[in-house]
Amino acid sequence: MKNRLRVLRAEKGWSQAELAEQLNIARQSVNAIENGKADPSLPLGMRIARVFGLPVEAIFEDEV
């Protein structure tokens, strides 16, 4: 699944570690999601959306 996490994080000026701390996940997990190596579950996806103040579909995009 494609996502805009890296761009949004850069806009906020957060490091991977800072975002990871807000989401209560490991920094490596943020890196894996940004690089498309892992897809977050719906609850984690919604937590990410809440942190950025955006709807889920503005961050994640399916590859149909």
Partner 1 sequence: MAYSAKKHRMLSGGAVALGLAGMAMVAWLTGNHADPGSLGLFRVVLALVVVGIGLRGYSYMDEVQRQAAQKRWFWGSLIGIAAMLPLVVFLQTHKPWLDTAVQFIFHQPAKPALYFNLRIGIPVMFQCASVLVMKLLDKLRQSSAP
Q: Which residues bind partner 1 (CB under 8 A)?
A: 24-26, 28-29, 31-33, 35, 38, 40-41, 44
Structure tokens at 13: 């000026």
Between the CA of residue 20 and those of 1, 34, 63, 64, what are the distances in Å? 19, 12, 25, 28
Burial of residue 6 (CB within 10 Å: 0-12, 13-18, 19+) is middle
CB of residue 24 vs partner 1: minimum separation in angstroms?
5
Query: Measured from the CB atom, is 24 or 64 closer to partner 1?
Result: 24
CB of residue 54 vs partner 1: minimum separation in angstroms?
20
CB of residue 29 vs partner 1: minimum separation in angstroms?
4
